[in-house]
Amino acid sequence: MDFFVFWSTFKDMLRPARVFPWVALAVVLSLVSLLWVNMSRDPLGAVKYGVLVRLIVYRVVALSAAMFTMAVVAQDIEQKTIVYTVTRTTPRSVMVVSRTLAAVAAVALMSWLSLIGVGYVFLGGGMFTQGMFWMDLVIMLLGAGAYCALFVFVTLVLNRAMLAILF
């Protein structure tokens, strides 16, 4: 892994224009959770938190991984870094792995925003003391790694990868 490639890709993925939709999605999920809590007659807690996280928030990982991994291979063409690969002694495999790890980090951060919002609404300030919350954080990190690896592989193999990834 090349730290410079990782850091420059990570900064590019966390530009405000790219992050805004995911922050907005986290806010919307938090507001939906708040609406559910306010309209429910039953006391809500860990069980409802688990249901909502598994039904909706885990899907954020897959969707954000699909969007962020498109940049891993596309940056060679869009940002002309293929010239950098040819002129420098950095192998293309190192570039792809570094960019993929940056995508994993960005996907994990964006999905954790949604998890923290939903967790705060359902579990309150004590969400950091709940074991299930920490397990969900780890599961999302592992899911980000798995989805990003799969989607980068599909991107490298297929020409129209976005259609295959969305299916």
Band of pLDDT at residue 2, cut at 50, 70 and 90: confident
Across the range 77-103, mean pLDDT stands at 72
Whose CA is closest to 51, among 136, 112, 141?
136
pLDDT for res 54: 82
Q: What is the pLDDT of residue 44?
A: 65
Nearest to 111 by CA among 72, 46, 57: 57
Instruction: Give the per-residue pLDDT at 86.
Output: 63
Q: How confident is the model at residue 88 (pLDDT cuts 50, 70, 90)?
A: low
Chain segment 33-74, per-residue pLDDT in tens: 888 878 877 766 777 778 778 888 888 888 888 888 877 776
What DSSP assignment string belongs to 2-26? -HHHHHHHHHHHT-HHHHHHHHHHH
Distant-in-sequence, close-in-space partners of 154: CB < 8 Å, separation ≥ 6: 161, 164, 165
- Asked whether the predicted pLDDT for residue 159 surpasses 80, the reply is no
What pLDDT does 51 receive?
78
